[in-house]
Amino acid sequence: MTVTGEAEVLLEARGIVKNFPGQRALDGVDFDVRKGEVHALIGENGAGKSTLIKIFAGAYRQDQGEIVIGGERKDISSSGDSQSLGLAFIHQDLNIVPHLSVAENIFLGKYPRNRFGLVRFSKMVEMARSIPQAVTIHADLRAPAGSLPIIEQWKTVINRALAQRSRIIFMDEPTTSLTHTEVDELFHAIADLKRTGKAIVYVSHRMEEVFRIADRVTVIKDAKKIGTSLMRDLDHGKLYNMMLGRELKDVFPSRGRRTDVVCLETNNLSRAGAVKNVSFRLHGGEILGIAGLVGSGRTELARLLFGADKKDRGDIIINGKKMNFKSPADAIRCGIALVPEERHTQGLVLHMDVKENITLASLDRIRRWSRIPVLSRQKEGSLGRQFASVTNIKARDLRQPVNSLSGGNQQKVVLSKWLCSNARILILDEPTRGIDVGAKFSLYSTITELAGRGVAIILISSDLTEVAGMSHRVLVLHEGAIAAEIPNDGADPQVTLRLCLEACKL
Amino acid sequence: MHIKEKKTARNEGFLFFGKYGTIMWLLGMIAVFCTLPAFRTVNNVMNLLGQTAILSIMAAGMTCCLKMGDFDLSIGAIAAITSVVVAKILVGGGGMPLAILAGIGTGVLVGLVNGVLVAYIGLPPFICTLATMSIILGMGLAVTRGIAVWDLPAAFEFIGRGDLYGIPNRFILMICLLAIIWFMHAYTPTGRRMEAIGGNADASKLSGIRVERHRLLGYVLAGVCAAIAGIVLTSSSMSGNATQGSLYTLDAVGAAFIGAATVRLGRFHIWGTLIGVLIVVVAVNGLVILMVPGYFTDMIKGIILLFAILLSGISGKFLTGK
């Protein structure tokens, strides 16, 4: 059964705007859900998908715009409101209480009671069996839910939504923790739900799945809606272009040539459960992109190279010398720097000001006298100013605490810290996540400029357009090992992007 | 961003009170007590300065720990064992330089033990220093069999009882020590790194700071300060006693937390700690002059401490163990 334009509209959101400090998360987004459809919601990390979902769930309140459910304007100000309007949300972590039985999980908090207020377990199991249009759970309903395979836990949560008479079920990246056969089973369950007139909003970034089950797709990018389209009107190429929004060539600054000097080389670098036999060479002036799904070992590889984790096997060779890093301090001495994935928890000391954060890794450079460890406020100020202007930080003044800066400027502070320490090998882990578009392009040009000056750069990103647009070469990681190496010297980054997408099995 | 700004605008008055409230409180308290003739005598003021000294020295060391999110409950016990060590050496004829060096060495040693256990082995600071506190106290009592060591050479008196133009020597010692620690925190790379660790230990490590080493140093500083306080205490009472000093721990923590509610909210800093010490000392002194029974003072100290923690807004950090 395919949904057409005539199906009843269950939910409609119009012109949703949501601002966070220093960032617009949603900018006038329209979205509607119809009876009996699977509506895919796609976009890269930080595009605004989850913010939109959280507004429907009552976790956030929109700043502008309205939500219409069943033809009436509704106000969703709590998860209770959302539930009573027939919306259900299933997140990756499933919200299962592992030691409670399947039946108890289905009726979580809404147990049938007898006249003394005590829970009637036998009644509950009976009720669980008689949920209208329930998906079948292949397990004993009295067994603890935590002992079930993940797919049965999924069905438990779906049945919970049905027991609450939900009409729209939101699923957030449902296949992340499922095996191939389990994914098939989940898709069968979704097809059953569709037949009974439920609507499913399916959040994902895996194209292949979207093509398999979605009836319509809405693409969100940089807080804006790019468009909504019927899946049968799309092919892969058209959907990619929707996601990109523009031609790749025009977006990214042009790269310089890499040098012949090998700065960093790894041989069979391994760490149990994270990184497997990774060997590659990094040249001066080169931007090496690293792509792969979340959990493919990208961040772990970065931490190994930076000495933040210890390697089990293999070599790290810096400028021809084998190194054995015991801590980041050792790696920094070799000119390696890491701009970590989580800048709030790993990149910045939030209560300290801009100049203090910039000079944090180079305190020995701002001594008043070279032999005596006493800081010079004057040198600190001039060095801070110098590197704040290199990365184009926009702050009132350098004594502003970094927690009052926008995400983009905070990231520039982290980058400045490493430029100040004269890093020659720069590892960037998701450098543009959660950063607004303007700051993104400013970062891109800084990165390209640095490479032009001979700095070797490793660029880790989930945003494949970014990897394809910026890098000389792309390594694709899968389960900790290099799955593919894609050269990117051709004229069209679109080709590289397609290769990356295939290699990532998206 | 505009959300945050709106909030601050509304709370600006409250924020001013939050930042300078403790200082206003101290000045107000002094103003009120100055109506008491017994409070404003030269003798009492000198007495106050002297009392400030021991507590400040201890609290300054504690501040070094707290700055990095660490905690040292054993400082009172360190002061006590130092007092025993110093007195035993003096009575045994070891001479003052040796006695003082050994006293400070004791502080270094206990600090090292605490630091290794907490920073390198990863024990929780609270429980770990509670254990070392108990061990040290027990050792002191075992060595002295619970009896104070008397008959110290009269020359030793000058640290705790002597004065320079009427200003107690121990107060001068305190000012020097506080100035050194302040300088370290404000103007040396080590101090800057400690500040960074206190703000975000993970980010500090990923910025190349050797976090364990600095936390160890924090415990050593706390130990040394406690030992110096112990030496002053020994000299003031002219006796070595395994039971003196322990009561200072709680006051030192209280003073440091009042300090964290002063000017730089939520951050521990030396001059704030000094304000905290003065509040505790002046409050107790005034109450004594007002002839409020002694057992009320502990209660009042506790209330002051609670207020300070509420004002400083850092309680959550310690409850959740960072």
Q: Within its chain, how far is the Cα of A273 from the centroid?
A: 21
A22 interface with B at CB cutoff 8 Å: yes
B128 interface with A at CB cutoff 8 Å: no
Write down the pLDDT at residue B119: 96
Instruction: Tell me: pLDDT of B9 over 50.
Output: no
Q: What is the pTM of this model?
A: 0.76
Which residues are A69's β-sheet partners?
A11, A72
**Distances, alpha carbon B276 to alpha carbons A181, A262, B248, B252, B300, in Å:** 65, 57, 13, 9, 14
A329 with B195: Cβ contact below 8 A = no
Q: Which of A329, A351, A375 sits opposite B208 (nearest CB)?
A: A329
A173 Rama sector, left if φ>0, alpha if ψ -120 to 50, beta otherwise: left
Q: Which tokens in the block code for residue A147? A: 């002992």
Residues of B in contact with A306 (CB under 8 A): 206
The stretch B47-76 carries a mean pLDDT of 94
Write down the pLDDT at residue B315: 43
CA-derived radius of gyration, chain B: 20
d(CA B167, CA B164): 5
pLDDT tens track, chain A, 506 positions: 444 556 889 999 999 999 887 678 899 999 999 999 999 998 776 678 888 999 999 989 999 999 999 888 988 888 889 989 999 998 877 788 889 889 888 888 778 777 777 877 888 888 888 887 788 888 888 889 888 888 889 899 999 998 888 999 999 888 777 777 888 889 999 999 999 889 999 988 677 788 889 999 999 888 888 889 898 888 777 777 777 665 556 668 888 888 889 999 999 999 998 899 999 999 999 999 998 877 788 999 999 999 999 999 999 999 999 999 999 999 999 999 999 988 888 999 999 999 999 999 999 889 999 889 999 999 999 999 999 998 888 888 899 999 888 888 899 999 999 999 999 999 999 998 777 667 788 889 899 999 999 999 999 988 777 888 889 999 999 888 998 888 887 656 677 777 777 776 64
Write down the pLDDT at residue A170: 94
Residue of A nearest to B2 (CA): A21
Instruction: Tell me: pLDDT of B5 over 90.
Output: no
Write down the pLDDT at residue A288: 95
Hey, of A332, A351, A396, which one would you mutate to test binding to chain B, going by the most B CBs within 10 A of its CB? A351
Write down the pLDDT at residue B244: 83
Instruction: Tell me: pLDDT of B196 over 80.
Output: yes
Instruction: Tell me: pLDDT of B2 over 50.
Output: no
d(CA B163, CA A405): 52
Residues of B in contact with A406 (CB under 8 A): 1
Q: Which tokens in the block code for residue B189? A: 């790379």
Instruction: Tell me: pLDDT of B139 over 80.
Output: yes
- DSSP track, A453-490: TT-EEEEE-S-HHHHHHH-SEEEEEETTEEEEEEE--S
% residues pLDDT > 90 (chain B): 68
Sequence ranges of the domains in chain A: 9-248, 249-335+424-506, 345-423
Residues of A in contact with B187 (CB under 8 A): 374-375
Closest-CA distance, A39 to chain B, in angstroms, reads 33
Task: Yes or no: say if B72 and B58 are a contact pair by the CB < 8 Å rule.
Answer: no
CATH code: domain B40-314 is 1.10.3470
Task: Yes or no: say if B85 and B98 are a contact pair by the CB < 8 Å rule.
Answer: no
How many Cα atoms sit within 13 Å of A337 on the Cβ side?
Answer: 24
B213 interface with A at CB cutoff 8 Å: no
Write down the pLDDT at residue A343: 86
Write down the pLDDT at residue B41: 92
First to last CA, chain B: 26
Write down the pLDDT at residue B316: 39
Write down the pLDDT at residue B112: 98
Between A293 and B247, the more confident residue is: B247
Q: Which of A328, A350, A356 sits opposite B208 (nearest CB)?
A: A328
Write down the pLDDT at residue A488: 80
Sequence ranges of the domains in chain B: 40-314
Residue of B nearest to A332 (CA): B208
Query: Does 3.40.50.300 match the CATH number of domain A9-248?
Result: yes
Closest-CA distance, B194 to chain A, in angstroms, reads 11
Tell me the angle at which helices B96-115 and B211-237 cross, rounded to the nearest 10 degrees: 140
Write down the pLDDT at residue A248: 58
Contacts A–B by Cβ distance under 8 A: 79
Write down the pLDDT at residue B14: 61
Element (H, E) at A440: helix A437-452
Tell me the angle at which helices B211-237 and B189-199 cross, rounded to the nearest 10 degrees: 110
Fold of the domain spanning A249-335+424-506: Rossmann fold (3.40.50)
